[in-house]
Amino acid sequence: ELVLKVRIQNPNLRENDFIEIELDRQELTYKELLRVSCRELGVNPEHVQKIRKLPNTMLRKDKDVARLQDFQELEIVLTVSDKNLLFRVPTLSEGSGYNKKASELTY
């Protein structure tokens, strides 16, 4: 797996932390990066203008994605200015790898 750090580009937020996502190294495509990033961040892929590799490089194609290294930082740039309407915070149980049974284990 390739581990990447992603966040939504929003200079107005005081805290704009990255989250880590995992991509299968056999499926390193732009489409898969967009799909996984949007799912984890709760963003509609139709509202993504571009994906930026920080500090200043736009990702455009599969070859760009294939060159990414572990823990590189990416920003999802949205198309409209009112970003609050475009995404929601997913609950822990929604496709984020959260395992309810594992969280109930005691040691």
Class of domain 2-78: alpha beta
Model confidence pLDDT, tens digit, residues 15-24: 788 999 999 9
HSE-CB of 102 using CA atoms within 13 angstroms: 5
Q: Say whether pLDDT at 78 is over 50.
A: yes
51, burial (CB in 10 Å: exposed 0-12, middle 13-18, buried 19+): buried
Question: Taking Cα atoms as reference points, which of 67, 85, 79 lies closest to residue 9?
Answer: 79
Is the model's pLDDT at 74 over the cut of 70? yes
In the chain, the largest separation of any two C-alpha atoms, in whole Å, equals: 47
Q: Is 92 left (phi over 0), alpha (psi -120 to 50) or beta?
A: alpha
6 versus 79: the higher-pLDDT residue is 6
The string of pLDDT tens digits covering residues 24-38 is 999 999 999 999 999
* For the chain, percent of residues with pLDDT exceeding 70: 75
